[in-house]
Amino acid sequence: MRWDRNYDSPNVEDRRSEGGAGLGGLGGGGGLPLWGLFAVAGRFGWKGIVVALIVVGALVYGGNLCSGSGTYDRAVDPRSATAPQPDSEMTHFVGFVLDDVNHTWRDQLPGYQDTRLVLFRNAIRSACGTATTAVGPFYCQLDRKVYIDLAFYDELRRRFGAPGDFAQAYVIAHEVGHHVQNLRHLLGRGEVSSVPVELQADCLAGAWAKSAETRGLVEVGDIDEALNAASQIGDDTIQRKATGHVQPETFTHGSSAQRVGSFRRGYDGAAAACGIR
């Protein structure tokens, strides 16, 4: 993806210095069957994307999800040498993509208002409640902000087999898609939770990708990176990796085929193809 590596976004709030201090545990999932844990993860954005494998890893290796000693927490320990720093290139990248998506929807959708993005590490308090890195990136409709721990991108590449900067951009565009839905009063009263809502956000991510392509930001292979990411984080693919079988009744985001198809629909038909005007 072509982008300005010196870009600083006024819409990014860096709260990584808080480090989740004083937030305590989120409450246990102990005793829940695996399908129940998939459902609980659905309280925040990208529900089930990370949680399924984290939970299984914790059960296998004896980690404690509440105390922060699980396998995932060790894998993305912010004190490690590879943890993102406040002035890292990734911070500039996230801000560039966020503002480009905002700009796209300001131009195309009447009444659109920019969303902001909060960078956090380990855990964060949002208007929607307390969340840890384990829930993945999410959008809170109550404060109209996107939240992300940049360590998620390492998991996206390493654990889910979805490398590439445009795969990372797709994550942001998907969450901003929820902001579009929120402005159009399509999210209801609770947190993002239904498969159709998630697929519509994927569709909007595809529509943004096409806009970025027409403006010369997309390089060869970028769209394939986004499509691969959509496939790798389908509920069926994640559940199969985590448990060896698939339970469609617990899906929170849709199957790999559905997610890929939704992205393609937006890419081919713009926001109108996603039911947004």
Tens-place pLDDT, residues 111-135: 999 999 999 999 999 999 999 998 8
- In the three-class reduction of DSSP (H, G, I as helix; E, B as strand; rest coil), residue 147 is classed as strand
Query: Within a domain: residue 161?
Result: yes
**What is the mean predicted confidence (pLDDT) over 255-276?**
97
In the chain, how many domains are there? 1
The set of residues, in sequence order, having a beta carbon less than 8 Å from that of 24 and lying 6+ positions away, is none
pTM: 0.79
The set of residues, in sequence order, having a beta carbon less than 8 Å from that of 225 and lying 6+ positions away, is 162, 163, 164, 165, 166, 167, 170
Give the integer Cα–Cα distance in Å for 134 and 203.
25
pLDDT, averaged across the chain: 80
Domain coverage including residue 53:
12-274
CB atoms within 10 A of CB 10: 9
Q: pLDDT by residue (tens digit) across 54-106?
A: 433 433 333 322 222 222 222 333 333 344 444 589 999 999 999 999 999 99
Query: Within a domain: residue 7?
Result: no
Q: pLDDT by residue (tens digit) across 204-258?
A: 999 999 999 999 999 999 999 999 999 999 999 999 999 999 999 999 999 999 9
Which has the closest alpha carbon to 63: 16, 19, 29?
A: 29
* Beta pairing partners, 12: 117
Give the integer Cα–Cα distance in Å for 171 and 136.
10
Say what the pLDDT of residue 18 is: 86
- Of 7-21, 41-55, 78-92, 159-173, least confident by mean pLDDT is 41-55
Token code pair at residue 134:
């384990």
- Of 25-29, 85-89, 93-97, 193-197, least confident by mean pLDDT is 25-29
Query: Within a domain: residue 4?
Result: no
Per-residue confidence band for 28, with pLDDT thresholds at 50, 70 and 90:
very low
Give the integer Cα–Cα distance in Å for 109 and 92.
25
